[in-house]
Homo-oligomer: A and B are copies of this chain.
Amino acid sequence: MTVTLADVAARAGVSAATVSRVLNSNYPVAEATRDRVLRAVAELEYVANGPASALAAATSDLVGILVNDVADPFFGILASAVQSEMSGDSTSGGEKLAVVCNTGGSPERELTYLTLLHRQRAGAVVLTGGATEDPAHTAALAARVARLSAAGTQVVLCGRPPLAVGVPTGDGGSAEGPAGASSASGADTGPAPLTVAFDNRGGARSLTEHLVALGHRRIGCVAGPEGLTTTRHRLEGHRAALAAHGIEDVPGRTVHGAYDRASGYAAAHELLRQDEDLTAVVAANDTVALGVCAALREHGLRVPEDVSVAGFDDLPFSTDAVPALTTVRLPLTEAGARAGRLAMGREPAPADGVVLLSSELVIRKSTAPPYS
């Protein structure tokens, strides 16, 4: 049936052990023998059995990348960067199978994938995007991550805050109830989770401050879904800017919604219904901003003459929008690349395990001084 190591060994006239050694090049083998083996491998079109190697070696060449939504360029860019850094880029022959898993923003699927990856004994896992803040989920996630770490898997969080550590068993409140008889205490805590975070708070703050500096006072805010770290941080930054300038944070001026265009569209309508005289709107991200612009246009409002609109992330299409979007640029590619390198141990981890990437305000055409 399918060609095995033994077949190759037989054809090359050596032992299986030798074939294994040349294939993994982790042990000295005579030049001549190596050639013979390699030839046999080619002739037989041998393809190693990954599961078998993984089982025997207790480690696999699989590394995972979790994203909230593959169809969203934000994650696509991040994933692409992480991935190209993880795939053994022809440097060390260590071919890694870097795979991206789509959670669709569902906390359950996130946990499921983590388990699946753990099952496969993945060498590393990077979790991208904002984290759900529900306590039960946070606890479950921390537990999964701890187990992964204990199993030797390097976990890297990218685009979300560091995980609260030291969450041992026996916590109250959690729905599940893993009982006592667990493994030994302490000891094997594997590699500590690392983090590459964005300065969402600072970015949002400077964005709103830009608007305030322009003269805006009645600023609407289309925030992301509630219960997501990213949403909270951006909102906090926005509010901090408002507070710093003595502008009242009117509740009705903030609306929550998904990170997509439809949500921006609906939110803008809602915002306008609450307060017809808004002079500016900060959106949860660029995609949402596009939806906001569309809704505004339908109301006969011009951007930025009548209402200024700002996005967040600076995705590629933002520059093509009409008018080009004022936004906050997040170093997505750098973040992904560093997360990938950290995961592969190709970059020294910072002492506190956290890399904070700064954001940059990008002023384009969608914001201007208020008309009236």
Q: A interface vs B, CB < 8 Å? A: 1-3, 11, 42-45, 47-55, 60-62, 64, 69-73, 75-77, 79-80, 83-84, 87, 95, 97-102, 104, 109, 112-113, 115-121, 147, 150-151, 176-183, 188, 261, 290-291, 293-294, 316-317, 320-322
Contacts and interface: CB of A to CB of B under 8 A. Distances in A.
B95 A112 contact: yes
Contacts of A44: 181-182
Given A70-B100, A71-B79, 9 more contacts: A43-B178, A50-B51, A51-B51, A52-B55, A71-B73, A83-B102, A97-B119, A99-B101, A321-B322
Given A97-B117, A116-B61, A47 B147 contact: yes
26 contacts: A11-B181, A42-B176, A43-B179, A43-B180, A43-B181, A45-B178, A45-B182, A47-B115, A49-B119, A50-B119, A64-B99, A70-B70, A70-B76, A70-B100, A71-B76, A71-B80, A73-B76, A80-B104, A97-B116, A98-B102, A100-B102, A261-B320, A291-B320, A317-B317, A321-B321, A321-B322
A120 B55 contact: no
Given A55-B49, A76-B73, A147-B47, A290 B320 contact: yes
Contacts of A80: 69-71, 102, 104
A97 B55 CA distance: 18
A322 to B, nearest CB: 4
Contact of A54 (B42, B51, B151, B182): B51
Nearest to A182: B45
A115 to B, nearest CB: 6
Contacts of A102: 79-80, 83-84, 98, 100
Contact of A294 (B45, B119, B320): B320
B97 A49 contact: no
B97 A83 contact: no
B97 A100 contact: no
Nearest to A336: B71
Given A112-B95, A178-B45, A322-B322, A60 B70 contact: no
Given A70-B80, A98-B101, A45 B261 contact: no
Contacts of A60: 51
User: Ordered nearest first, which 4 A-B pairs have the shortest CB separation?
Assistant: A99-B99, A51-B54, A71-B76, A322-B322
Contacts of A79: 70-71, 102
A49 B55 CA distance: 8
Contacts of A75: 76
A44 B179 CA distance: 8
